[in-house]
Chains A and B, each alone.
Chain A
Amino acid sequence: MKGLLIRDLRLAIRAGGGFGLALAFFLIVVILVPFGVGPSQGVLAPIAPGVLWLGALLACLLSLDRIFATDFEDGSLEFLATAPVPLEGVVAVKALAHWVTTGLPLTLAAPLFGVFLNLPAGGFGWLVASLALGTPALSMIGAFGAALTVGLKRGGLLLSLLVLPLYIPTLIFGADTVRRGVDGLDAGTPLILMTGITFGTVALLPFAGAAALRVNLR
Chain B
Amino acid sequence: MPLFGKSQKGPADVVKALKEAVNSLEKGDKKAEKAQEDVSKNLVLIKNMLYGTSDAEPQADIIVAQLAQELYNSNLLLLLIQNLNRIDFEGKKDVAQVFNNILRRQIGTRSPTVEYICTKPEILFTLMTGYEHQEIALNCGTMLRECARYEALAKIMLYSEDFYNFFRYVEVSTFDIASDAFSTFKELLTRHKILCADFLETNYDKVFSHYQRLLNSENYVTRRQSLKLLGELLLDRHNFTVMTRYISNPDNLKLMMNMLKERSRNIQFEAFHVFKVFVANPNKPKPILDILLRNQEKLVEFLIKFHTDRAEDEQFNDEKAYLIRQIKELKPIPGH
Q: Answer whether A and B are interacting partners.
A: no
A interface, CB within 8 angstroms of B: none
B interface, CB within 8 angstroms of A: none
